[in-house]
Amino acid sequence: MDNSLLSLIDSTSSVLVVLPTKPYFDQVAAGLSLYLSIVGRKDVSVFCPSPMMVGFSRLIGVDKISAELGKKNLTIKFVKYEASNIDKVGYDIENGEFKLTITPKAGFISPQKDQITMDYSGTTADLVMLVGGANDSHFPILSTPDLANSKIVHVGTRVLETGREVLSFAKPGSTTSELVANLIKENGLTIDPDVATNLVMGIEDGSNNFSGSDVTPETFEVFAYLLRSGGQRVPRVKLSPANFPPGAIPTKPFNAPNVSEVHQQAVTPISQVETQAEIPSAETGVETPEVNPPSDWLQPKIFKGTNVS
C-alpha cells in the first residue's frame, strides 16, 4: 500500500489541517502552506483551537484559519425559549426549498426571530493532518467523535506521543516549515509564491535566522529552492511608538506630582519683574542716549494763573 502523502490526499474527498494549541509562528506557516498547496485539489480547511496572534498577520492566508471544527451540520437554537413549549417540529419542501415549521403548544407563543441562532458543528474530513505539537494534549480535537473514522497523519520535527493510530511524517529538522517544504516538493504538490513565502518566513523565524543548532546545509538548500520558487523575505513588523498616532502611547513615563509641590506652585506669587520689560539703567552698565533740551529751555517764562473766583 502506498502511504505517500500524495496518495493519502488523492484517496480522500476532504482534508482537515490542524494546528496545535498555542502554535509557534513556524508551525502556523507550515500548516498554512500545506493548506494552500492542497486548495483546488481537494476540499480542505485549516483549524486551530487557539486564536491567532498579531505577529502571525503577515502570513498569507492566515484569515482562512478557523476556530470552528468543520461545517458538517447546521445547528438551529432558540435562546431563552422553553423547549417544553414546543408541540411539534415539521418540515416541508416547497418549490425545491426546505421549510422548517415550529408549532408551539396551545396557549404558548412561537419562538421570536431574535431568539434564533444558527451555527455549524461537526466535520466530514476523511484525512486529518496534524502539524507540530508533541502529544495528544496539543490536539484536543483527537477526542472528537466525528474523527473516529478519519485517517490521521502527523507532520513535525518530533514524533507525536499519542494513543491514536497515526501515520507519522515526522523527522528531525531545523523547522517544521523546512520539513513541509520537502514534503510538498517530493509529492509534487502546488508550490506557488504564496506557499514559498510562508515557508521562507517560517524557516527564518523557526531557526532564529539560521542560528539554531539544527540548521544544516540542507536547510539553506531548501531556503534557496523556496526563493527560486517566488518566495519573498517579509520583515517582521516591530511595534513601536512611531507606528501609533500621536498621543496613543506616552513617550515618557508619567509621574504623579507631589501634593505639597502642587500646593506650593499654586500659592507662589508671580514676580512682577517677570511681567515687565527690562528697563536699562546706570546699574546695568548700559549707556542711555544723550537728549538735547529745546533752545528756549533756559529763557525766562511768564506763567498766568487761573482765576477761580
**Do 222 and 191 contact (CB within 8 A), yes or no?**
no
Per-residue pLDDT for 255 more than 60?
no
**Do 98 and 231 contact (CB within 8 A), yes or no?**
no
Nearest alpha-carbon partner for 150 in 128, 135, 165, 119: 128
Looking at residue 262, its amino acid is V
What 8-state DSSP symbol labels residue 113? G
The answer to which of 6-10, 66-70, 127-131 has the lowest mean pLDDT is 66-70
Mean of the pLDDT values across residues 80-101?
89
Annotated domain spans of the chain:
5-71+123-228, 73-121
Cα 201 to Cα 223: distance, rounded to the nearest angstrom = 10
The answer to which of 45-49, 244-248, 266-270 has the lowest mean pLDDT is 266-270
The rounded mean pLDDT for the chain is 82
The residue count of the chain comes to 309
What local confidence, expressed as pLDDT, does residue 67 receive?
86
Per-residue pLDDT for 70 more than 70?
no
What local confidence, expressed as pLDDT, does residue 94 receive?
86
Mean of the pLDDT values across residues 290-299?
60
What's the pLDDT band for 280 if we cut at 50, 70, 90?
Answer: very low
Give one DSSP letter per residue of 149-208, joined into a string. TSEEEEESSS--B-SS--EE-----S-HHHHHHHHHHHTT----HHHHHHHHHHHHHHTT
Per-residue pLDDT for 71 more than 90?
no
Mean of the pLDDT values across residues 122-126?
78
| CATH no. for 5-71+123-228 | 3.90.1640.10
Cα 119 to Cα 100: distance, rounded to the nearest angstrom = 16
Cα 25 to Cα 23: distance, rounded to the nearest angstrom = 7
Per-residue pLDDT for 118 more than 70?
yes
What local confidence, expressed as pLDDT, does residue 139 receive?
95
- pLDDT tens-digit profile of 260-273? 554 445 444 444 33
The pTM (predicted TM-score) of the whole model is 0.66
- pLDDT tens-digit profile of 179-222? 999 999 999 999 999 999 999 999 999 999 999 999 999 999 99
What local confidence, expressed as pLDDT, does residue 203 receive?
98
Mean of the pLDDT values across residues 45-68?
93
Strand order of the β-sheet with 65-66 is 65-66, 43-47, 14-18, 127-131, 151-155, 167-168
Nearest alpha-carbon partner for 202 in 55, 4, 66: 55
Per-residue pLDDT for 138 more than 70?
yes
3-state secondary structure at position 130: strand
What local confidence, expressed as pLDDT, does residue 11 receive?
93
pLDDT greater at residue 223 or residue 91: 223
Residue that has been written with the C-alpha cell 416547497 in this structure: 94
What local confidence, expressed as pLDDT, does residue 62 receive?
96
CA 156 to each of CA 95, 142, 146, 182: distance values in angstroms, whole numbers, following the listed order: 51, 17, 24, 12
